[in-house]
Amino acid sequence: MGSEKSGINSNNKSVVVLSKLATNEQHGENSPYFDGWKAYDNDPFHLVNNPDGVIQMGLAENQLSVDLVEKWIKRNPKASICTNEGIESFRTIANFQDYHGLPQFTAAIAKFMGKIRRGKVKFDPERVVMAGGATGANETLIFCLADPGDAFLVPAPYYPGFNRDLRWRTGVQLLPISCKSSNNFKITIEAVKETYQKAQEANIKVKGLILTNPCNPLGTVLDRDTLINLLTFTDQHNIHLVCDEIYAATVFDAPQFVSIAEIINDDDGIGINKDLIHIVSSLSKDMGFPGFRVGIVYSFNDEVVNCARKMSSFGLVSTQTQHLLASMLSDDEFVEEFLVESAKRLRKRHEKFTGGLEKVGIKCLKSNAGVYCWMDLRPLLKEETVDAEVALWKMIIKDVKLNVSPGSSFNCPDAGWFRVCFANIDEQTVDIALARIQTFVDAKKQQQWKRNNLRLNLSNRKYDENVMTLNMMSPNSLIPRSPPQLLYMY
C-alpha cells in the first residue's frame, strides 16, 4: 500500500489529503497497456489532420456495425425520450427507478443473452443485476464473493484491466495460471492444480477461478470438455467459478462458443453446485456500446444476486439507456440481423488484417472470436526476454506509430506476443497500419542482414588474420603475403 498524499495547511501543519486506497499502486494502470493509450492521446492519428500520428490499435472496441444501430435508431425515434415521438415517456423514465432495473430492460437483456447463445439456454430476468459496464460488474461480483487477501486463480495471459477491476478496491489477489505458447496457450487442468497447490502451501485462501470466454487477449473459445474439467475442479474444491463472457457475440468462425450456462443446463451427469457459478456479461463488445456502461452480473446463487443488486446502486445504468435498449433488444428481427452481419464483418476484417500480417511474415495465434489478434513478434526480438519485448514495443510506439499492447502487460509467460485490435478503425486506417508494419518489418530484416553480414565479415577477418599469422610464421611459404584489407562493416 502506498502512503497517504499530504499537503500543508495555513498553520504550516501537514494534513492528510488522500487515503491509502486512493494512493496505492493496485490500480494497475502503471503498465505499458495503459501507457500506449497515453501515447495515442498525445499524438492521435487522423487521416487528414495528423496522418503521421499514432494509430490506436490497443482499444478493444467493435465499431464495425455501428451503422446498423444508427439505422435502427432513425427508424425508431420513439425509443428515445429525447425526441418528439418519445417525449411522452420522459417524465416516467426520468423519475427515480429502483436498482432492480426497468422490467422491460432486464427482460430484454435476459432474452438477448439467450439469443447470442443460440437459444440453448434461457436466462431468468430476476437474476439480471445491472452494473456500470463489465468493470463494475466484475468488481461487484468480487465484493460479494471474497474478502481482502483472498485470491482468485486466472489463466494467463489475461486482460490487464483485471488488475484494476478485480483488485484495486477489493484487496483480493490474482494468481496467474501459466498458459504457454508451446500448446497454443490452452488451459490445462495440471496447470490449474499446480497454481492452486502453490496457493495452499503459501496459506493463501483461494475463493475461485476466473475465466474469460471467449478469451481476451487470445481470441479463442473454450471447448466443452475443458469447461467441464474446470467446472469439476472448482466444484470439488468448493470454490467459485466466474465466467466473463462479454465477447460471446463476437465469435465469427468455428468452433462455436459454449457458455458455462449450457454446461449447467446440460449438467452432463457431473452434478455440480450451481450456487458457485456466476456470469459477467456486457453490451460493450457484443453490441459495440462501451459508452453506455451496461454491465451485467448473472448469478445462479440467490444470495449473490440479492447482495449484488444492493451494491449495484453505486453503478446503475441510466433509465434513459435502459429504456432505449429495452426497445432495441426486444426487436427480434433487428437483433438477428445485427448478430449475423456483425459476425460477417468481424470475420472479413480478421481475414484482411491477419492476411496482411502473413504477407510480411508475421503470424498470429489461430483465433475465431474477439476484436483483436494475438500477434507473434518473437522473431523480431533481440532475445526472448520481457526487457527485449518492452524495447520492441517502445520502438513500435515511437517509430511505427502504432499502439499495440505487449504480452507482458497481459501477464503472458512467454515474451514476444502482442495484442493488436482491428475492429475499432476503418478500412483505410487498417491499410495504413499494415503498410507501416511492412515498412518496419522490412527495416528489421535489413538490420538483421547487416548484423549477419557484420558477423560474417568479422569471421572472415579472423580467418584472414590466422592465415597472415601462419604466413608470418612460415617465411618460406609459397603463399604471398598480402597487406591487411579494410573491411567495410554494415
Does 159 participate in catalysis according to the annotation?
A: yes
Set 142, 187, 228, 244: catalytic member: 244
Residue type, 486: L
Strands (E), 332-406: 363-364, 372-376, 402-403, 405-406
Does 401 participate in catalysis according to the annotation?
A: no
Distance, in Å, from the CA atom of 317 to the CA atom of 295, rounded to the nearest integer, reads: 8
Helix H or strand E segment including 38 = helix 32-42
Distance, in Å, from the CA atom of 47 to the CA atom of 433, rounded to the nearest integer, reads: 12
Q: Nearest-5° angle of CA 223, CA 136, CA 234?
A: 40
**Backbone conformation region of residue 267, classed left if phi is above 0, alpha if psi is from -120 to 50, else beta:** left
Cβ–Cβ < 8 Å for 298, 128: yes
Set 159, 196, 298, 372: catalytic member: 159
Q: At 353, phi and psi to the nearest 5?
A: -75, -50
Give the distance, in angstroms, between the CA of residue 466 and the centroid of all CA atoms in the same chain: 56
Distance, in Å, from the CA atom of 436 to the CA atom of 397, rounded to the nearest integer, reads: 11
C-alpha cell at 143: 465484493
For residue 61, give Cα distances in angstroms to 193, 256, 285, 477. Answer: 34, 21, 6, 74
SS3 state of residue 403? strand
| Residue 350 half-sphere exposure toward CB, CA atoms < 13 A | 23
C-alpha cell at 209: 477461478
C-alpha cell at 197: 497447490
Set 277, 285, 296, 414: catalytic member: 285
Distance, in Å, from the CA atom of 68 to the CA atom of 338, rounded to the nearest integer, reads: 7
Distance, in Å, from the CA atom of 215 to the CA atom of 162, rounded to the nearest integer, reads: 13
Q: What is the DSSP code (8-state) at residue 82?
A: T
Distance, in Å, from the CA atom of 296 to the CA atom of 284, rounded to the nearest integer, reads: 11
Does 372 participate in catalysis according to the annotation?
A: no
Using alpha carbons, select from 388, 390, 394, 385 the residue that is nearest to residue 440. 394
- DSSP percent split of the chain into helix, strand, coil, nearest 5: 50, 15, 40
Set 246, 362, 397, 432: catalytic member: 246
Cβ–Cβ < 8 Å for 292, 325: yes
Using alpha carbons, select from 370, 222, 351, 349 the residue that is nearest to residue 285. 370
Does 444 participate in catalysis according to the annotation?
A: no
Using alpha carbons, select from 270, 273, 216, 201 the residue that is nearest to residue 240. 273
**Catalytic (active-site) positions:** 159, 244, 246, 285
